[in-house]
Structure 1
Amino acid sequence: MSETGERRRASTRGVAARAAILEQAARLFAERGFEGTSLLDIAQAAELTRPALYHYFASKDEILATLVEQESAGAAEKLREIAAGELDPTERLRAAIHELVLDRAAAPERFRMLDRSERALPPPIAERHVHAKRTALAAVTGIIAAGIRAGEFRETDERMAALAVIGMCNWVAWWYHPGRDPEPAAVAAALAEQAVASVARPEHRRPPEPGVRGAIAQLRQDLDHLSRIVDAE
């Protein structure tokens, strides 16, 4: 085999070994917590020696930082991109919830790991994790606020509504079981619809256009309706 081919094989093996280490570490952190898991535990679960594990990760903190980056920061960045998109607020909320649910259903043990290990995260990693959570919350809150302004969503506390729908998504990591429950895409679609329904303004109550003019037009319709009731009485 050529030198180039050998390097490619070595690179492929390295990627697979890192993935196995991260997968086993996430499982162990979820089961035992970060503090209750040793590097030797992770190495044995990944079928490696401890010296071999050091070839891929220098410490347990580095493994945890990588998991946080992939799970927490990665999901937050996707939500931020969706929130900044050009879709209408209803479609943006649907897309954001769909993304979150797919993420939780694809690797539930990773989210459970973060949830269980949150208090034990070393300070630099904890700061990154908290920043990612705030980014995700700000993205969903912004989408709901935009929907309220556009008249697509009813008047509500946008932050509280965002916390509610994010919590619904996060809970998937605890109850979802691949093979027993519906496919992740079906679960994501169903929960996205529930999230939208929880904040949507009824169709007949939506203003004819967004902004101040739409609100005034809606108010005039309400006043006309009130006037008819008064006249009838």
Structure 2
Amino acid sequence: MAEQVGNRKLMADNGIEISAYIEDFVVELEDSAKTGILVAFDNKLIGVLGVADPLKREAAVVVEGLQKMGVEPVMVTGDNWRTARAVAKEVGIKDVRAEVLPAGKADVVRAFQKDGSTVAMVGDGINDSPALAASDVGMAIGAGTDIAIEAADYVLMRNNLEDVITAIDLSRKTFARIRLNYMFAMVYNVVAIPIAAGVFFPSLRIKLPPWAAGACMALSSVSVVCSSLLLRRYKKPRLTTLLKITVE
């Protein structure tokens, strides 16, 4: 006697016959975003289970927020195509890659990178760890597995997908602040250094005393520090309000 629990491919590989009625029932489960798990005993099919991982309530809003930020979401899963398409339709994702093995997820990431795309991977499971390590930015959910957390660059401490939006938005604002700081530093140096060197003295009789040049250098550092401190006033995007509207 032998027991088998798995998908239709496992049953076919073991020579277990699946009736048309059971086949249609499994397809119906998959179309409703559930995974059909078949149970066989002594080479006879004895049951079917419909298993579903409930979507996070903020998933659809986060996907919409990513699209508005210019980020194209892609779903990569090891589940079957019907279930994957049903879930993707529910959250608004158009690009779906299904029946992908863990190593295949990393291959999908590398394929996007070869096209010149910057890839951020969000995952929480052991199967996601190869893709998290291969991506440009790996984001692990704090409630995920230790392996996924170890492979990721970011760890989102809360079990909330809204933090993906916050991480991207904060990163963009930080880089924008860095560019602004470079501009502050360059303005003082580009203007003050030629004057301190006496470039304009023969024609305009303008010169910069050493104490004034030192003050300008110190002021450039103060400007950069004050500009950076403004990030303390950062407020994350308000997706919660949009979520309430969507739910209602």
Q: Is this a same-fold pair by TM over 0.5?
A: no
Structure (1/2) with the larger helix percentage: 1
The structure with the largest alpha-carbon Rg is 2
Higher relative contact order (CA 8 A, sep 6+): 1
